[in-house]
Amino acid sequence: MTIEIATLFAVAIIVSTAAIGTAIGFALMGGRFLEASARQPEMAPQLQTKMFILAGLIDAISMIGVAVALLLLFANPFVG
């Protein structure tokens, strides 16, 4: 019973930190993109392409965290 409760807390922590980290990452990246586009408008298309690539990488990291959380939730290797 204790392992299941600890697993639920671990899943909650993993999912919440993944969501918060992704939100902070997107906010910082979007702000810096807008600053860079305002300084050099002719570079905006190239910066936008790089921003979308980084957005996919940031989102992929959080999805890995969610996948680990779901693994712990539904196929817990710690339960006998």
What's the token pair of residue 65? Answer: 């965290």
Any catalytic annotation for residue 11? no
Cβ-based burial of 28 (10 A; exposed 0-12, middle 13-18, buried ≥19): exposed
Catalytic residue of the set 15, 25, 59, 68 = 59
Active-site residue numbers? 59
